[in-house]
């Protein structure tokens, strides 16, 4: 007997994440009722992932459950927020209980790790499409924005660039890659802990979802500054370096999306503070360049033969 909409919600999605004191009412009413802690601001982000646009048909359901939440948590991390709640809208062509079981498990495991409570959403019949709204909090006045980078600030990147892009090429049969690279594509790790550390320290921050060059470009545009990045300083794993040597595709770490790392800027006088704060984190952080006054993005040790761009819908 097929599972009806409300039975689907009850069976697969009620109870995901811890019960938070700040949740007045969650799943079960027409709206969730939330009470942010005193002195905190709410931060909200929404992302939609569509089959064949954001993920390949046949993508492992548990990995997909992880990724759809990770994408929203990455946005919250980029603004230094503490993730607290999520809402999920799920469009399904058919109801597969095994698929829902796996998807729910992936979503729930990540939600539990970051103490995020699922407090509502919607299910409907249609092409496979998943929308998550992530909601977090930050102490008033300590939110990170894209718009405060200043000339002289150092430019930093967490983790490694281009691994998810190589993972995608592997899934499409366009390159050889390891299971680790595919995991970087399908199970990105949101840098929530780094985002919190950067509050009051970084001058600007963004998550790398559409490609390093494009997303750094958003900081430059919002802050009305320019930047110089040294290609030789870019954090590239051995596997990505090997791919670049074999293929000559040097644009991959600059333009490929889905890394979900953080790109941020730090004033020169705060860089020693940054190093001491990041020592205990397992995530590497690399200084790759400097903010300047002249608009535009320039590269050292890299021959740019055409403009760089990241992923854009409708382009």
Question: pLDDT, tens digit, for every residue of 191-206?
Answer: 999 999 999 999 999 9
Same domain, 238 and 270: yes
Q: Say yes or no to pLDDT of 69 above 90.
A: yes
Please tell me whether residues 167 and 101 are part of one structural domain: no
Of the pLDDT bands very low, low, confident and very high (cuts 50, 70, 90), residue 1 is: very low
Last residue of a domain, which of 99, 114, 139? 139
For the chain, first and last CA: distance in Å?
44
Q: Kindly give the pairing relationship between strand 82-92 and strand 117-125.
A: parallel
User: Last residue of some domain: 89, 116, 139?
Assistant: 139
Nearest to 55 by CA among 65, 46, 44: 65
Q: Same domain, yes or no, for 185 and 233?
A: yes
Please give the helix or strand (H or E) that residue 50 lies within, else none: strand 40-50
Looking at the fold, whether 160 and 296 belong to one and the same domain comes out as yes
Same-domain status, 163 and 287: yes
Output the pLDDT for position 36. 85
Same domain, 128 and 39: yes
Q: What pLDDT is stored for residue 4 in this prediction?
A: 52
Query: Has residue 279 been placed in a domain?
Result: yes
Domain boundary, last residue among 82, 111, 139: 139
For residue 219, is it within any domain? yes
- 2 in a domain, yes or no? no
User: How many structural domains compose the chain?
Assistant: 2
On the question of pLDDT at 11 being above 80, the answer is no
Distance CA 271, CA 249 (A): 32
Q: Phi then psi for 95, rounded to 5 degrees?
A: -100, 115
212 and 259 co-located in one domain? yes
Distance CA 153, CA 267 (A): 4
Does 61 share its domain with 135? yes
Q: What is the pLDDT of residue 55?
A: 86
Flag whether 306 is in a domain: no
> Percent of the chain beyond pLDDT 90?
68
Position 183 in a domain: yes
Q: Are 233 and 299 in contact (CB under 8 A)?
A: no
Residue 114 and residue 166 in one domain? no
pLDDT value at 19 more than 80: no
pLDDT for 159: 96
Q: What confidence tens digit (pLDDT) does each residue in 127-180 have?
A: 999 999 999 999 988 999 999 999 999 999 999 999 999 999 999 999 999 999
Tokens 């490929």 belong to residue: 256
pLDDT category at 119 given cuts 50, 70, 90 is confident
Range of the domain at 124: 8-139
Average pLDDT over residues 53-77: 94
Query: How many angstroms separate the CA atoms of 63 and 274, rounded?
Result: 32
Q: How confident is the model at residue 57 (pLDDT cuts 50, 70, 90)?
A: confident
CATH number at residue 272: 3.90.650.10
Which CATH number goes with the domain that contains 25? 3.30.1330.10
pTM score, whole prediction: 0.90
């Amino acid at each position: 007997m097929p599972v009806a909409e409300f039975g689907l919600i009850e069976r697969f999605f009620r109870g995901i994440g811890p019960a938070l004191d700040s949740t007045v009412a969650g799943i079960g009413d027409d709206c969730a009722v939330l009470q942010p802690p005193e002195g905190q601001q709410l931060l909200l982000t929404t992302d939609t992932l569509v089959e064949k646009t954001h993920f390949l048909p046949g993508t492992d359901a548990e990995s997909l459950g992880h990724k759809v939440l990770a994408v929203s948590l990455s946005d919250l991390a980029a603004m230094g927020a503490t993730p607290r709640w999520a809402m999920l809208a799920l469009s399904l062509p058919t109801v597969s209980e095994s698929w829902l079981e796996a998807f729910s498990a992936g979503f729930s495991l990540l939600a539990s790790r970051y103490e995020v409570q699922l407090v509502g959403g919607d299910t409907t019949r249609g092409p496979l499409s998943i929308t998550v709204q992530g909601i977090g909090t930050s102490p008033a006045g300590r939110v990170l924005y894209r718009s405060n980078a200043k000339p002289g600030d150092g430019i930093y990147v967490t983790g490694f660039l281009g691994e998810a892009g190589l993972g995608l090429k592997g899934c499409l049969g366009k390159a050889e890659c390891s299971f680790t690279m595919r995991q970087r594509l399908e199970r990105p790790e949101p840098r929530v802990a780094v985002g919190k550390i950067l509050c009051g320290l970084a001058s600007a921050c963004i998550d790398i979802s559409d490609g390093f060059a494009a997303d750094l470009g958003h900081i430059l545009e919002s802050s009305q500054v320019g930047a110089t990045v040294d290609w030789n300083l870019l954090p590239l794993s051995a596997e990505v370096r090997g791919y670049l040597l074999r293929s000559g595709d040097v644009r991959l770490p600059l333009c490929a999306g889905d890394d979900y790392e953080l790109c941020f800027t730090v004033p020169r006088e705060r860089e020693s503070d940054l190093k001491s704060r990041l020592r205990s984190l397992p995530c590497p952080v690399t200084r790759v360049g400097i903010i300047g006054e002249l608009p535009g993005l320039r590269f050292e040790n890299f021959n740019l033969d055409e403009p760089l761009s990241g992923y854009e819908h409708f382009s």
